[in-house]
Structure 1
Amino acid sequence: MELGTDTRVVLLAAGLIFLWALALGVWKYRQMAGSEDHLAHPYVDTAHRAALLYSFATLLVATFVEFSGWNAIVNLLSAGAVVLFFVGAIGTYVYHGWRRDTDNQLRDQVGGTTAFMVALIIAEIGGFTVLLLGFVRTQLL
């Protein structure tokens, strides 16, 4: 079976996010091993877990890209919006874990947090909706 270029790109993203999750697991372990309470910073833990979950979510997105009836550009833009915000969220968790500046980024908001969250909601739900509609149109109708 020959995968489309759009699917291959999203699968590569899933693999890279999974590799990032594995590396974050090492960071989490090192913090757990070196702390008195044997816990990592909450955002190191969150970054590790989120990266694991987002890597598998990206596999789901790749599946819908492959079975979508839209052209590769529409699929890549839709999937790219979703994956971009997955990566952005993980990056934010890594930032807070590295800085150890908060245990709740929504309690201690900086400028742009609300705008980022609104953009994330629109991009993730919108991007996946486009792919889901492409799947329904091609595979079910």
Structure 2
Amino acid sequence: MRVILQRVSQASVRIDTEIVGQIDTGLMLLVGIGPDDQNEDIDYLVRKITRMRIFADDQGRLNRSILDIEGAILSISQFTLYADTKKSNRPSFTQAAAPDLANQRYQEFNQALMATGLTVQTGQFGADMQVSLVNDGPVTISLDSKAP
């Protein structure tokens, strides 16, 4: 699994004109699923994301996690994280999981995040979404469960 994590002061996702997910302070996640991803990948990333200390403490140091600040998560499925651009200018997405498997793992990932007690909003798997965010910092981190 691959995740692009962005610390945000606000984020939302729209489908057509309807807002389907929206958060204030927290994390926006772009989530890509690979064909070999298992429960261990989900567990690793949930642990890493929820414990990562990227929020400021009282002294302004990045010492607090999303759990510490009781923030929220906006999780967006993003198969393009598995784009292969080595051979041409047109990306190939053959390294991404098939849609049925990807959707299943994406839902399991979101359920695991919710099980931590965090508020988790999502987009809609496979939909054409418009994502808006205010990246706070900016803080953007790339995670790959196959390269911990």
Give the TM-score normalised by structure 1: 0.28
Relative to its length, the structure with more strand (as a share) is 2
* Higher relative contact order, structure no. (Cα contacts within 8 Å, ≥ 6 residues apart): 2
Give the TM-score normalised by structure 2: 0.27
